[in-house]
């Protein structure tokens, strides 16, 4: 079974308002992702199951946000949290080659130590991440992941009357370690 452990980081570089109303915030994460070839092939790509644990999540938001997540002052505040995405998939093209394009989506939860983006929000938020990029072989066991075009969305899905969420564009970088014996590859 083809499996990988990815040590990854994410840094947002912009935001937009499509599914969420928040603005003026940036998101940074670091964690571990597990990829396992579980579902055969689809559209010429290897289809993998993906799960992720983010022990480091940092939201850099604008000061004194209104109920919808728009900052009302120029001050900044940092809100730490953690995340888990137990459900995801990855399509990996050109499997076994030196450069491999991929498309990925993951869903899960982010939990912050205080209400994120609004005092009327929740501590827990649902998350959805989509990414496309390139995985480049460095050695037979190690790859470099470069995901420059990604989207990360989180919101509380109207668990409470106000749903301040955030959509950020981000860059995702990772170091991939191929699990299993060398002879299997």
Splitting the chain (185 residues) into consecutive groups of 10 residues, what average pLDDT does each group show? 93 82 87 95 94 97 81 89 97 94 97 89 93 96 93 89 88 94 49
Output the pLDDT for position 182. Answer: 53
Q: Can you give the pTM of this predicted structure?
A: 0.88
Output the pLDDT for position 184. Answer: 47
- Burial (CB count within 10 angstroms: exposed 0-12, middle 13-18, buried 19+), residue 139: exposed
Q: Which residue has the tokens 């452990």?
A: 5
Output the pLDDT for position 185. Answer: 46
Judged by DSSP in three states, 91 sits in strand
Output the pLDDT for position 183. Answer: 41
Q: Rounded CA gap, 167 and 14, in Å?
A: 9
Output the pLDDT for position 48. Answer: 96
User: 117 — phi, psi (to 5°)?
Assistant: 75, -15
Q: Which residues pair with 108 in a beta bridge?
A: 127
Output the pLDDT for position 129. Answer: 95
Output the pLDDT for position 181. Answer: 60
Output the pLDDT for position 41. Answer: 93
Assign a CATH topology to domain 3-184.
Porin (2.40.160)
């Amino acid at each position: 079974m083809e499996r990988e452990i990815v040590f990854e980081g994410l840094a947002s570089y912009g935001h937009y308002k499509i599914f969420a109303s928040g603005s003026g915030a940036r998101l940074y994460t670091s964690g571990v992702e597990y990829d396992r070839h579980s579902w055969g092939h689809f559209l010429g790509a290897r289809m993998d199951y993906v799960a992720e644990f983010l022990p480091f999540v940092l939201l850099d938001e604008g000061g004194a946000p209104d109920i919808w997540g728009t900052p009302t002052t120029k001050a900044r505040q940092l809100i730490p949290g953690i995340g888990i995405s137990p459900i995801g998939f990855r399509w990996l093209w050109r499997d076994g080659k030196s450069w491999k394009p991929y498309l990925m989506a993951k869903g899960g939860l982010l939990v912050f130590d205080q209400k994120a983006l609004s005092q009327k929000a929740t501590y827990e938020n649902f998350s959805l991440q989509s990414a496309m990029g390139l995985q480049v072989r460095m050695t037979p066991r190690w790859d470099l992941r470069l995901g420059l075009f990604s989207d990360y969305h989180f919101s509380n899905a109207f668990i409470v009357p106000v749903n301040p969420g955030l959509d950020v564009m981000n860059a995702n970088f990772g170091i991939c370690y191929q699990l299993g014996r060398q002879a299997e590859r």
